[in-house]
Amino acid sequence: MPFFSRSLCANFACPHPGLPPQFLRFHPVMVESVAWITEIKNTLSTAFFPGSILAYLRFENLEEREPPREWKWFGFSLVLFLCALLSKSVTCMLPVVLAILVWWTVLGGLALLWTLRRRIGKGPFAAVAAFIITLGPILGFMNCYAFQFSYVADHWQYLASPCLVSLAAAIGGRLHVTNQITRFAVLGIPIFGLGVLTWQQSPVYQNVETVWRDTLTKNPDCWLAHHNLGVVSQARNHFSEAEPHFRSALQLRPDSYEAENNLGETLLMQNRLNEAEKHIDRSIALNPGYAASRWNKALFYARERKKEEAYAIVQDGLTQSSVYLDGLNTFARFLATTDDSNVRDPQTAELLARRGCELTHYFNPYFLDTLAAACAARGRYFEACQLASRALTIALSLGNEELEREITGRLKRYKSNKPYAERS
């Protein structure tokens, strides 16, 4: 990206090619793409996207047509373009950007910049046009999956930003300031200010909870933030904290079958069965094919001691082409660890947990932990210790400290020939 910015500066006649990389490094809008692991595809595609452009410009040899074009650069550009597409589909706009950079005089548009091109040069026109075209797929002219969550996001600008940043640096570099100290202040203060803003923005992406809490601070009516904070609390077994978030999400988005299901599951874990059934059934009504709500319905039947109904749903779930693993593990764990003797079924729990381990190639610590609990419930403590130790090793390698603590506690019980039970 810095090298690309320098190259753009050459095209825009920027007297200080080192400025754009600094603006890019310190601009707070870049934080989301760099700090959030789910957006690593952004940084990856932005390595290939500009590389493809630079290789193609080398192939075109715009400044000097002699010697003739070297087709190896065209091939290299094509390979990088394919890599960019595999990283992120939004890079499909690269050919249009190349057209702007190479054949800008026949593209027209952007009337003001076009009219002033003889006075300010072709750089501003090319920069603004390339910026708009690169943003094209997410400007709202076509449906995008992410629009169901938000119409705006910082990381969508990451790929297009070098165009305007390079233009801004070129304009700043052309200011007629003769005093070196003044010039340093004019150019350095904005970079310093951007650095401060970036420093303030970075903690937002510390983890998924900080992201969504920051979202709620800025947009209290964001149903998705409430829902995802509920999921975070639910994963920690903090069900009393999760419940109000799911209820808020449903107030803002009444047709969310995910929120209905998760609220039902939260109530189920608090043994509030009548309330739980209402929300689980509502989720199934909204989306009959949603596997999570079907598995929660099975868990509800099990807690109600309706084994036949529960096992019928489980059997149907296991025949699906894609088994819902979270539901499988939760149901197996309940059968293995419940203190209700009328429901506890360690043998079935072991069969289900082994199926989960097979589907995850014995690398999922949650299934291994559940299988260990089922073996311990059947009196096979040595095997339970082996499985729990393996689950603990994997949890450590994944950095899951909370699961590590839980498994360590259960492992101590197995070593003392005691099963693990949870209050239903």
Looking at the structure, tell me whether residues 272 and 249 fall in a common domain.
Answer: yes
The verdict on 181 and 237 lying in the same domain is: no
Q: Are residues 169 and 215 in the same domain?
A: no
Tokens 């920069």 map to which residue?
127
Q: Which residue has the tokens 């400007």?
A: 139
Same domain, 116 and 36: yes
Are 61 and 134 contained in the same domain?
yes
Which of residues 316, 345, 363 is at a domain's end? 316
Containing domain of residue 409, as a range?
323-424
Residues 256 and 242 in one domain: yes
Radius of gyration of the chain (CA): 29
Domain boundary among 174, 204, 234: 204
Give the DSSP letter of residue 422: B
Q: Given 283, 316, 349, which residue is the final one in a domain? A: 316
Same domain, 197 and 211: no
pLDDT in tens, 218-259: 888 899 999 999 999 998 889 999 999 999 999 999 999 999
Assess whether 211 and 200 both reside in one domain: no
**DSSP code for 69:** P
DSSP state string for 172-233: HHTS----HHHHHHHHHHHHHHHHHHHHHHGGGGSSHHHHHHHHHHH-TT-HHHHHHHHHHH
Split into its structural domains, the chain has a count of 3
| CATH number reported for the structural domain that contains residue 399 in this entry | 1.25.40
Same domain, 123 and 44: yes
Q: Which is it for the CA torsion 124, 126, 132, 134, positive or negative?
A: negative
CB-based contact 61:69 (threshold 8 Å) = yes
| Domain CATH for 242 | 1.25.40.10
Quick one: 388 and 345 in the same domain?
yes
Q: Per-residue pLDDT for the chain (424 aa), expressed as one digit of tens each?
A: 544 444 555 544 555 555 556 666 677 777 777 777 777 787 788 788 878 888 887 887 655 555 567 788 889 889 999 998 888 877 887 887 777 766 654 444 444 455 554 555 556 766 777 777 777 666 666 666 566 666 666 667 767 777 777 777 666 666 665 666 776 776 777 778 878 888 888 888 888 899 899 889 888 889 999 999 999 999 888 999 999 999 999 999 999 999 999 999 999 999 999 999 999 999 999 999 999 999 999 999 999 999 999 999 999 999 988 899 999 999 999 999 998 888 999 999 999 999 999 999 999 999 999 999 999 999 999 999 999 999 999 999 998 888 999 999 999 999 999 999 887 6
Are 265 and 252 contacting, i.e. CB atoms less than 8 angstroms apart?
Answer: no
Are 160 and 258 in the same domain?
A: no
